[in-house]
Every structure is written in C-alpha cells, then in structure tokens.
Amino acid sequence: MRYLGLLAASFSLLFSLPAMAWNATGHRLIAAIAYDRLTPKARARVDALIRQHPDYEKIFLRDVSSTDPTVRARAAFIAAAVWPDQIKGDPRFYDETRSNASPTQLLPGFPDMARHTTWHYYDTPITPDGAEAEIQKPPHALSELNRIIPIIGTKADIPPTSASNPTYLLPWLEHIEGDVHQPLHCVSRFLKSMPKGDQGGNLVYIGTRNLHSLWDGAAGRDDSEAYAAKYIADATAANPPTRHNEKKPEKWIEEGYKIAISDVYTFGLETGTRDHPVALPSGYEANAAKVAQQRIAIAGYRLAAVLNEKLK
C-alpha cells in the first residue's frame, strides 16, 4: 500500500480501501514457495529468528490450530511476510511520514514503532512524454533491501532494540522482497498532465478501483491452504526455478520497471480519473494474472536463494 497523503487517504476511506501491495495472498504465496526451498540449516535459523519476534504468538500464530512444531514454524514464517502491511492499521504503531506524527510507546522487542510505509516501494521514474520526474529519497525499498540483506544472517548478539536486529528485519525482508516483484512497486509514471507522478498506479483509475490495486490482487484473493497449494503447483510448473537465482535488489527492481513498461502501462498516456477511468485493452487482466504468477514464483525462489546464502 502506498500513502497518498491525507486528502487522498480520507477519500479512500470514503470510497474504497487503499491498495495494499501484493495483497496478503500474494505475500503468503511467495513466503510459502521460499520456505519450502530453504536448506535445513537456513530453515532452522529462520524458525529461531521468527520465534523471538514480539508478535510471534499474538499475530503470526493467531490462526494456527496445529500443535505440530513443523507446521507452526512454516505458518509463522508465512504469516510474518504480511506483518509489514498489518502494522499500517495497528494502533501500537505510528505513521512517521505524517508531518504531525507523534511516536507511539516503544514496546519490548521492537527497535521502533514506526510503520515505515516508504520501505514498500522504489519509484523508478517512467517519463514517456518527457515530464520532469521526482526522485524518491531513502529510506525506500531499494535502500532497505540493501541494508537488510547483508545483516540478516549476522550471528553477533544484537539486542532486540537495535535497528539491525535480524528478528525484527526478517518479516521486512520477506515482505519488501515480495513487494518489488510487483511491477507497480518499482515505478511511478510522470506525465505532463500528472507532474507529481501516479504513485505506482494508485492514482490511475480503471473503473471502481485503481491500477495498483488490480496488480496487487493479480495473484488472487484467497488465503486457504487449498488455493495456495494449487497456485504454487501451477506457478512453479509454469516457471521452473533453474534460471531464477538473481540476488541483487537493483536487478529485481530493474525487471519490475521493464515489466511496468511492457505489461502494465499498455493503455497509452491516459491518466485515468474518477470521471474518466482508463478503459483497459481486452485481455489485460488475464495477462496481469499470468505476469503475477511468474513474479510470485520468481520472488519465492529468490527469497529462498538469499536466505540460503545468508543463513548458512
């Protein structure tokens, strides 16, 4: 989800929920694909990290009825991937990007209580008509991935209150790595008619929803085990893992940028307002679902590759 500023945020409360990045389904699928590809050693280490998270019982295991430790560990890892979106609506946390932000009380086990809403995306500018672009300042998805990946496997004894605490950072790594495999988390399109950019498609109306939301939901909206099993079987069969072990966040985002141009902004230079929403070309949603299936599989493989390398 991207924050659109107060005005747009209050509109979105009136008319629709704001876009949430890959929705929970997308993040859960990516985490499941990754978890099932971890080496026994990396799996043991992520399990140990997740168990120390302050929200382990309260949130990660909230919907888990099984008492089998293996089932619980996998479920907690998968649930942790959604946590950075959940805290956007959690009153324990505050939105540090608001001009009137005041920090909420620091709770045990957390380095800070900020929602870090800007960590979810990196706005590579797309400027098809030569409009001037704004460059996003860090912290953003790229700066945070490049900060987190080198320290996720540290064996040093780091206090929970440190911003470099791997237990705190693991759900973030799972989540942001997933987000940047959604092409609209890698770009913002600037047009002369939209000089502030479209906020990753959040401002492009395509009927009752926006372009960002269409892509967030392109892997479906179903968190059942049965749906995940079928989706993962299909996605991994259609996109075999062999070629997908790129570990550089810059490359992940560059791919997202290219896909945004080839598969997302295929409707010309319309901005898509509420009164005049963009009419998408026929077959658009079917293609989005296909692209999403590929990105979900690749994101899962790459998350596993990073964790296997860093948590040896």
Task: Name the residues that contact Zn ion, by CB under 5 A.
Answer: 21, 120, 179
Of the pair 120, 302, the CB lying nearest Zn ion is at 120
H or E segment to which residue 16 belongs: none
Q: How far is the CB of 23 from Zn ion (least distance, A)?
A: 10
Contacts of residue 29, Cβ cutoff 8 Å, sequence gap at least 6: 219, 228, 231, 232, 235, 296, 300
Of the pair 21, 203, the CB lying nearest Zn ion is at 21
Q: Which two tokens stand for residue 212?
A: 């960002």
Of the pair 53, 120, the CB lying nearest Zn ion is at 120
Q: How far is the CB of 12 from Zn ion (least distance, A)?
A: 16
Which of 261, 132, 248 lies closest to 187 in space, CA to CA? 261
Peptide bond into 277 cis (omega under 30): no
Which of 141, 191, 150 lies closest to 21 in space, CA to CA? 141
CA torsion 39-234-293-209 (nearest 10°) is: -130
Q: How far is the CB of 254 from Zn ion (least distance, A)?
A: 19
Measure the CA–CA gap between 80 and 55, rounded to whole angstroms: 9
Q: How far is the CB of 22 from Zn ion (least distance, A)?
A: 7
DSSP secondary-structure letter at 275?
Answer: S
Of the pair 123, 179, the CB lying nearest Zn ion is at 179
Q: How far is the CB of 212 from Zn ion (least distance, A)?
A: 11
Bridge partners of 269? none
Q: How far is the CB of 242 from Zn ion (least distance, A)?
A: 28
Of the pair 179, 198, the CB lying nearest Zn ion is at 179
Which of 95, 144, 142, 140 lies closest to 115 in space, CA to CA? 95
Of the pair 199, 277, the CB lying nearest Zn ion is at 199
